Structure 1
Amino acid sequence: MSINDKVGSYNCGIAREGFRRNYLKHALELNLVCMTIPDKPNSKNQRYIKK
């Protein structure tokens, strides 16, 4: 299960941009997750994999 699937099923009112800015950006910087398509961060097919 991807992080997107977990976040999608756990809708607590956090806007998508807010989630990216507050959580995902830091997780990427700390190498906790990686992008499946690093060249296209805004792709509709983008997924994130836990390391």
Structure 2
Amino acid sequence: MIDEPRGRRIAHQIKLDGVDKLKFFREMLDAARRILEVRQVVEKLTE
């Protein structure tokens, strides 16, 4: 069973405000873009 303070903290993390969500998604897109760039470089090197 989850103790009360920990449960509240988890609930708080889930209820991120819109700014945090936008920032999070932007970082995810940034990471995805970097991964794609690396993959393209690797494909060029292995041709």
Which bin holds the TM-score, normalised by the shorter protein? 0.3 to 0.5
Which structure has more strand as a fraction of its residues? 1
Task: Output the TM-score relative to the length of structure 1.
Answer: 0.31
Report the structure number with the largest CA radius of gyration: 2
| Structure possessing the higher relative contact order (Cα contacts under 8 Å, 6 or more residues apart) | 1
Task: Output the TM-score relative to the length of structure 2.
Answer: 0.33
